[in-house]
Amino acid sequence: MLTVWGRKTSSNVQALMWCIGELGLACERHDVGHRHGGNDTPAFLAMNPNGTVPVLRDGNDAPLWETGAILRYLAGRYGSDPFWPADISARAQIDKWADWAKINVAMGFTSPIFWLVVRTPPSRQDPAAIARNIANLDKFLDIAEAELARVPFLAGNDFTLADIQFGHVLFRYFDIPIPRRHRPMLRRYYDSLAARPAFREHVMVSYEELRVPD
């Protein structure tokens, strides 16, 4: 049995839970972090000294932290072709896109844009900074648009771990009130993800508790 510590409104927890759902694994999740607290207790810090979520424990194995490492662990232990190929070269192509998505898209959206739009009081928001950060993200979304014009998923013809790392931010990207370039391939791709039951359950989650009013 998998055990996850992390609130359902955390984007990293959402990526992890989406992956668990796609793999059809049994899991128990505990709300930790933000308004739930609990990530600064001695018991939690003994599992993850960084005090961040998510944390995963698989049975009696040692706890795992860092979302990318957890996702690769789950894919390696419970996934199979084509989600996480046995062939090293094929797997590396997926891992390449997964890292690209994490570093450039997820990290380029969550703190620089989502936090400034949703988790910052309206009177303290900086529209110029938000616009600059959107322009920076646009460069990478243009790369995704070009790739998705060739293939239906980020790393090729099949749904893979790369789509977890990339796609989990798209619900919020398309939902928050920011200007977005017309990217028909990205929209088609997002709509295909939104049709997946595990995506709807674990990613299309209200973030209203994160909103900071004036």
Q: Give 2-78's CATH code, choosing from 3.40.50.720, 2.40.40.20, 3.40.30.10, 3.30.70.270.
A: 3.40.30.10
pLDDT of 214 higher than 90: no
Cβ neighbours of residue 121 under 8 Å, at least 6 residues apart? 212, 213, 214
Kindly state the average pLDDT of the residues 49-77: 98
Ranges of each domain in the chain: 2-78, 88-210
**CA-CA distance, 151 to 155, in Å (whole number)?**
8
pLDDT of 112 higher than 90: yes
pLDDT, residue 89, reads: 98
Cβ neighbours of residue 164 under 8 Å, at least 6 residues apart? 15, 18, 19, 22, 71, 98
Kindly state the average pLDDT of the residues 95-118: 98
The pLDDT tens digits of the residues spanning 23-59 come to: 999 999 999 999 999 999 999 999 999 999 999 999 9
pLDDT, residue 62, reads: 98
Q: What is the CATH number of domain 88-210?
A: 1.20.1050.10
Kindly state the average pLDDT of the residues 9-28: 98
Kindly state the average pLDDT of the residues 145-156: 98
The pLDDT tens digits of the residues spanning 173-201 come to: 999 999 999 999 999 999 999 999 999 99
